Chains A and B, each alone.
Chain A
Amino acid sequence: MHSPAPVIGVPGDPGFAAVLASRCAWDRLVDLDEHLAGIANRDEQSFARWITHAEPTLRASLRGFAAQVDTEAVLQEALLRVWQRAPGIERDRKPNSLLRFSLRVARNLAISEVRRARMKPVETDAVERKLNALAGGEGPAPPDPMLRRVIAMCREKLPPKPKRALDVRLSSGGGQSDTELAATLQMTKNTFLQNFTRARKLLGQCLADNGVALRGKG
């Protein structure tokens, strides 16, 4: 015997809007565990895709530690450890199990680093809240496709020297220090940084003019 199809309402019905809104919200959530099998099989491409989505969430979770540890360094080390330990991670029934694991790794690393530096402990409730939210189904939002287009357009409008500084920094992929990058442009480090700052501010202004606001300061 077939059970009756669930009634989700019809257009115009107040319940329909709520159901539609919740479905749209659900579609925006990403379960990054779809990459877990590939990562466990040592597929670096899967890990790259996972990082692309997970990095903003992980970085934001370290905000409370920003004054006491170098969060960029902690984040990179946490991601490396996630890669090393991913084969041992088993999916539970909740989404984003690897992301939740990596949040804990990053938090523990940050706490260890704070202890190592003998600084005052920081409030870690934010991480716990994030973990609970992730376990409850709230995943990272997918990247905004409009942002890419607007940023690319704004980049083209930059003056030559700031644009070169920005391009060199972007192409280095975190592999070279600013001193080395400045040397490739035959600039001093200060000049390079000034050009880069100028490029960043101009880019931020252009983005704001086009209705795109980055999360932090521009």
Chain B
Amino acid sequence: MEQEERDALIEEVASAWRPESANPIQMHPAWQRLDEAGRIEAFELAQDLRQIEAALDPEGQSATAKAVLARVAALETRNVAEPAASKAKVISFPRRLFESQPLAVAAVAMLAVGFGVWASRDGVVHSPGEPDLPPAVVADRPSDELPLDDDPAPTPKTAQPQPGPAQDVQERLAAREPETKKPRRERSKSPAAKRSERRPPPSTTEDKKLAEMVDPSPRQPTKGDTAPEELPKPALRRNAVRAPNDTANAMTGSQTTGTATEEEKRICRTRVTVVEKMRRQMADYMPSPEEQLALGRCYITLGDKAKARAWLERAATDPKTKPSADKALKELDP
């Protein structure tokens, strides 16, 4: 290495500028090119330079002090925006209980009701008098819900299911129902028949096994069964695997969706305001890719598609955030 080049490297390393990197210790690229003597020389030079910088600064701050204070200011600005987000993440205990532990809820339901939840297709027993389910949830609501003791409608048998644990329970429950009550129109078919109508016949061995796991009492489709083929196999698999969680979310989501959206909007407004303020105050301020992605999503939440697209496209230029940004862009322009 020539002396001139070495001197230039020492001069560079002695500056207070350090590149931004994922590592908290942001080493200067030129530092690694210096030998030990050069590094010590750069250290001595930096000491002198900081002294000169501090002496020439009206507030006595060296370039190091200014660089650190700039990082502190950025950190504090970020902290202003983040408490709102972290505060919004606080979930009340009952909601947390229902959201995070659907299996535990199912287990409690199993104990309380006295029969296996696994007999239900999606693993959760619904009470028949749910008035406040949103339309989407109602549409997905399983029609094969088992009648409870307080259900006035007995379930007449139209199909002949194979004997199984769930069927035994159904028979016992049906026997306990008072005979004077007439069956409701929508309950004219047994749960087994309704289940058969919705479920496509398992065609492959894997599908058969999967169907058996979902519903342990295999049944033959009845004559009146229609269009079971409409549901594609992957959808069946997906439904079978995800049904408990989806149902659990629907259980809590039906009551919390409205407030959560408002909360998200409020957080987004705060975040957007902070970033816009920072961009006004600091000409060279540019949020990190993660922040750009979050901003893009915020603008989607706030309904500003143009700005959302702009931020998401920026976020998509970084390899770390590209997949998420691309996904969000696709959702923006389906």
Residues of A within 8 A of B (CB): 42, 44, 47-48, 51-52, 55-56, 59-60, 62-63, 66-77, 79-80, 83-84, 109, 113, 143, 147-148, 151-152, 155, 169-170, 172-178, 189-190, 193-194, 196-197, 200, 203-204, 214-218
A148 and B56 contact, Cβ closer than 8 Å, known pairs A59-B50, A176-B17, A178-B12: yes
- Beta-carbon contact of A217 and B25 below 8 Å: no
What residues of chain A lie closer than 8 Å to B50, measured between beta carbons?
55-56, 59
Is B48 a contact partner of A48 (Cβ separation < 8 A)? Answer: no
Q: State the 9 A-B residue pairs at the shortest beta-carbon distance, nearest first.
A: A174-B16, A173-B66, A174-B67, A216-B44, A66-B43, A174-B63, A67-B36, A70-B27, A214-B48
Please, which residues of chain B bring their CB within 8 A of the CB of A152? 55-56
Consensus secondary structure, chain A interface: helix
**Closest Cβ–Cβ distance, residue A137 to chain B (whole Å):** 24
Kindly identify which residue among B11, B40, B56, B73 contacts A170, using a CB–CB cutoff of 8 Å: B56
Does A177 contact B19, Cβ atoms closer than 8 Å?
yes
State whether A73 and B25 are in contact (beta carbons under 8 Å apart), knowing that A51-B68, A148-B56, A197-B7 are contacts in the complex.
yes
Most chain-B CB neighbours within 10 Å: which of A173, A175, A178, A194?
Answer: A173
Q: In the complex, which residue of chain B has the Cβ closest to the Cβ of A176? A: B17
Question: Given contacts A44-B73, A174-B63, A216-B44, is CB(A80)–CB(B55) below 8 Å?
Answer: no
Closest Cβ neighbor of B58 among chain A residues: A148
Q: Evaluate contact between A51 and B69: CB separation under 8 angstroms.
A: yes
A155 partner residues in chain B, CB cutoff 8 A: 56
Sample of 6 more A-B contacts, CB < 8 Å, known A76-B67, A216-B44: A51-B68, A70-B25, A73-B25, A73-B28, A217-B41, A217-B48
Query: A173's contact among B44, B49, B67, by CB below 8 Å, is which?
Result: B67
Interface code B18-41, partner A: CB below 8 Å = 1, 0 otherwise? Answer: 110000111110010000110111
In the complex, per-residue mask of B59-77: 1 if CB is within 8 Å of any chain A CB, else 0: 1111111111111110110
Number of interface residues of B (CB under 8 A): 55
Report how far A71 CA is from B47 CA in the complex, Å: 11
- CB nearest neighbor in B for A47: B72
CA of A172 to CA of B308 in the docked complex: distance in angstroms? 33
Contact present for B51 and A79 (CB under 8 Å) = no
Q: Which residues of B are in contact with A by a Cβ distance under 8 Å?
A: 7-8, 11-19, 24-28, 31, 36-37, 39-57, 59-73, 75-76
Are the C-beta atoms of B55 and A143 separated by less than 8 Å?
yes
Query: Which of A42, A47, A67, A70 has the most B CB atoms < 10 Å from its CB?
Result: A70
Chain B residues near A203 (CB-CB < 8 A): 52
B43 engages A178 (CB within 8 Å):
no
Question: Which residues of chain B are near A148, meaning CB under 8 Å?
Answer: 55-56
Judge whether B28 and A59 touch: CB under 8 Å. Answer: no
B62 contacts across to A, CB distance below 8 A:
52, 55
Minimum CB–CB distance from A55 to chain B (whole Å) comes to 6
Give every chain A residue within 8 A of B65 (Cβ-Cβ). Answer: 48, 51-52, 55
Min CB gap A188→B, angstroms: 11
What separation, in Å, do the CA atoms of A75 and B42 have in the docked complex?
A: 14
The answer to whether A60 and B47 touch across the interface, beta carbons within 8 angstroms, is yes
A172 touches B72 (CB 8 A): no
A60, A148, A216: residue with the most chain B Cβ atoms closer than 10 Å: A216
Contact of A56 among B25, B42, B51, B66 (CB under 8 A): B51
Is B64 a contact partner of A55 (Cβ separation < 8 A)? yes
Query: Which residues in B have their C-beta under 8 angstroms from that of A71?
Result: 43, 46
Residue of A nearest to B9 (CB): A193
CA distance A28 to B75 in the complex (A): 34
Q: List 15 A-B contacts (CB under 8 A).
A: A42-B76, A44-B69, A51-B61, A51-B68, A55-B54, A73-B25, A148-B55, A170-B53, A170-B63, A174-B67, A177-B17, A214-B51, A215-B47, A217-B41, A217-B44
The answer to whether A66 and B39 touch across the interface, beta carbons within 8 angstroms, is yes
A204:B63 contact, CB within 8 angstroms: no
Would A175 and B51 count as touching, CB distance under 8 A? no
Q: Which residues of the partner chain A approach B69 to less than 8 Å between Cβ atoms?
A: 44, 47-48, 51
Which residues of the other chain, A, contact B57 by a CB distance below 8 angstroms?
Answer: 170
Q: Which residues of A contact B71 (CB under 8 A)?
A: 76, 80
Q: Are the CB atoms of A77 and B24 closer together than 8 Å?
A: yes
A152's nearest neighbour on chain B, judged by CB, is B56
Bound Cα distance A211, B70 (Å): 34
CB of A152, distance to nearest CB on chain B (Å): 6
Bound form: Cα–Cα A194–B5 in Å: 10
